[in-house]
Structure 1
Amino acid sequence: MTTLLETRYRAVLRLLPASYRREREEEMVETYLWDIDRDLQDQSRPTLGEVASIAALAVRCRLGAPGSPRRYAVLGAAVRLFALAAVLLQAASAVVDRILELTWSFTHGASGRQMFLSGFTGRGATDTVVAVLTWTLPLLWAVAYFALLHDRRRPARYSALGAALPTLWPLVRPLTGDGMPPGVPWYETSAALLAWLPALALCAAHHRDAPPARLPAGSPGLVFLAGCVVTGGSLVLVPGAADFVWAPATGFVVGALGWLLWRVRRGDGTSPGAALALAALGLLVLAARVAALYPWLHVPGAGVLLGGGLGQTAALALLTAALAVVGGRDLARR
């Protein structure tokens, strides 16, 4: 006779893929019920730790654990590449932005240094701490990138989550009642998604059973340097159009276009799901680009910023659509 606890365990195990349950469900249920008295099983429930462990196993199985069906292997490869590309994009943007800010501040005399320091001083303790963390924590994207490519998965996870934290403050700040006017909600939401979706994808897809992260081409240092050159060059060459999305959007456009050209030369040698992974990242960047551009549509004198932003929007839309088409064809062919 089936007890209530066994029924509850089987309900939780339905989180796992059907193929995994067919092979191991009975063994897992027996293991969970092994040392529990049968008379107590109708008054017991699976523990929170057991439920969390089964949920984590379900995520690993659907993201390419050994022995998973091919569709899950493809999905896992795509999510891992999405996370890696997004972390690289934000790492290069964060490092370049802060290098350029420090360079400008300390090459413009005392007034430049004072302007830089005023962003951290002269305010309340909470605002000062938030300003310091907002400036420093995004540098952890670079730590996450290099840790991931050197197969240091736990530091990579913690670094990515820490780097994404500052994007939550604009969403949480109105709840603190500090009297500051609210920001632009759609931009703040898109910026949070651009940070948190890659961070969570990194934590989920680069699990302990996943293969080591690797770049399609080039060494980690050279690829990161190329990303810094592209994002930094876009800020230096077109400063009038540069907002918070300009550098990462430019980096994505150049990187995605380069990947498409490289794929044409290599034929079908790319990993399955790579195009769809880049298309998903392009969609995120496009959402942030549109959200950042919208408030400037009716601002006089913003012609350069609007022109650059609209050009980027068109390029992002075309590249994202092209990547989605290529990705769909790849999946159909395979």
Structure 2
Amino acid sequence: MSGQSSMSRLEQRYRLLLRLLPAAYREMWQEEMVTTFLASMHTDDPEQADYLADYGRPSWPEVASVAALAVRLRVPGWRMRLGGTGAPPRNVVWGDAVRLAALIGLLGSATSVTGSLTNLLWLTGRAPWLPAPIPEADYVLHTPSFRAATIASLIWLPAYLALLFGQRRVCQLLAVLAVVTAGAALVLDHLQPLTISTVAYAMFDVALVLALLAFHRDAPPPRRRPWLLALAIGITIQAGLPLTQPTDPHTFPLLDWPAICCLALVIAATTHLAGWKRRTPSWSLALALLAAAILSLRTLTLTDYVHAAPDAQRSTLLTLGILETGAVLAVAVTLATLANRALRRLPARA
């Protein structure tokens, strides 16, 4: 206790930062690294030294260097856990499942380019098949947040294509760029308050970027033709969705993005479960992972209905949202049970 109490807050913050590193590495090098970091903050001014001891923090370059080291140390372990060369059969299934889930999520983001372009055409009055644009259209078009959000949605398509054509690094960089650009749109949008829903969407995209790390150099490339066909189908479906949206901008759509995800997942899960002779543990696990993510997204976005939906719509939207949540939960439990049984039948070691 005496050693802990004599530790300055600055030293505590450095030790907290070093927890990014694997435990074995910390045990060997933590004391030396902490001493080096503290020495770099040393000053002969007693007042400045006292201030730094209480309020000093690791600099951004130090944080970045520790984070980069953590990635370099942990990547080999991630590869093995996600189906790298020589990985156990269970890890191979996990790796295939995470890659499938990431690819499906990336597919959904890539098809959203159609909605963004349609929205752009609508606001500029170049979509005669849609209702007249809102009076504030010209103002919306020139806001930095709208431009950033549109650019972010456009980046997902080349990211998806890069992955299909073997450019995994390019895909991962573009996905990070899309998430950062979408985050900038949230920061720049002064008219819309930060809500639980906007945070949920952002976390969904961050989870997708992290899942794309499963496409390491030992991972098998995805089959190009079926995923290109899925892209064409998804874009076609997205092109027709604006026709289902309400003409009044203050009215909530019955079929919002989380609802579309719920519907697509239930259809995919039902198809997968019906073809029991051909289903694989990887697909069961991948759909279960997607179900968990979509369930979280749908549950969190229900707050929009509670706080912002018109009174005339609120009960209908909440009822539909609860039904969607129940359907996804049902298929999630079923898929997770099947995947768990399949994994338990596999040997734990190669």
Alignment TM-score > 0.5, same fold:
yes
1:47-62 equivalence runs, <5 A: 52-62=71-81
d(CA) in 2 for partners of 1:308, 1:230: 21
Q: 1:118 aligns with which of 139, 147, 150?
A: 139
* 1:223 is the counterpart of 2:230: yes
Identity, in percent, stands at 28
Deviates more, 1:252-261 or 1:147-156: 252-261
Conserved in 2, the CA contact under 8 Å of 1:242 and 1:305?
no
* 1:143 is the counterpart of 2:140: no
- How far the C-alpha of 1:154 sits from its partner, in A, is 1.3
Q: 1:293 aligns with which of 302, 314, 339?
A: 302
- How far the C-alpha of 1:223 sits from its partner, in A, is 0.8
The one-letter code of the counterpart of 2:289 is A
Give 2:45's aligned residue.
none
Conserved in 2, the CA contact under 8 Å of 1:234 and 1:247?
no
- How far the C-alpha of 1:167 sits from its partner, in A, is 4.5
- How far the C-alpha of 1:66 sits from its partner, in A, is 0.5
The one-letter code of the counterpart of 1:63 is L
- How far the C-alpha of 1:265 sits from its partner, in A, is 4.7
- 1:265/1:71 CA distance change after superposition, 3 Å: closer
- 1:321/1:199 CA distance change after superposition, 3 Å: same
- 1:321/1:50 CA distance change after superposition, 3 Å: closer
The one-letter code of the counterpart of 1:106 is R
* 1:258 is the counterpart of 2:258: no
Q: 1:214 aligns with which of 208, 223, 240?
A: 223
Conserved in 1, the CA contact under 8 Å of 2:145 and 2:186?
no
Q: 1:63 aligns with which of 71, 74, 82?
A: 82
Give 1:325's aligned residue.
337
Deviates more, 1:204-213 or 1:292-301: 292-301
1:180-329 equivalence runs, <5 A: 182-184=193-195, 186-202=196-212, 204-214=213-223, 219-233=226-240, 236-237=243-244, 239=246, 240-261=253-274, 263-266=275-278, 268=279, 270=280, 272-297=281-306, 299-302=310-313, 303-329=315-341
Residue deviations 1:188-228 (CA, integer Å, cap 9, x gap): 222122111111110x210112111237xx62221112223
Q: How many residues in Structure 1 have an aligned counterpart in Structure 2?
A: 281
TM-score computed with the length of structure 1 as normaliser: 0.70
d(CA) in 2 for partners of 1:161, 1:111: 35
d(CA) in 2 for partners of 1:231, 1:277: 23
TM-score computed with the length of structure 2 as normaliser: 0.68
Give 2:16's aligned residue.
none
The one-letter code of the counterpart of 1:57 is P
Give 2:126's aligned residue.
106
d(CA) in 2 for partners of 1:145, 1:296: 32
Give 2:177's aligned residue.
162
Conserved in 1, the CA contact under 8 Å of 2:298 and 2:325?
yes
- 1:171/1:112 CA distance change after superposition, 3 Å: closer
- 1:333/1:51 CA distance change after superposition, 3 Å: closer
Give 2:57's aligned residue.
none
- How far the C-alpha of 1:169 sits from its partner, in A, is 4.3
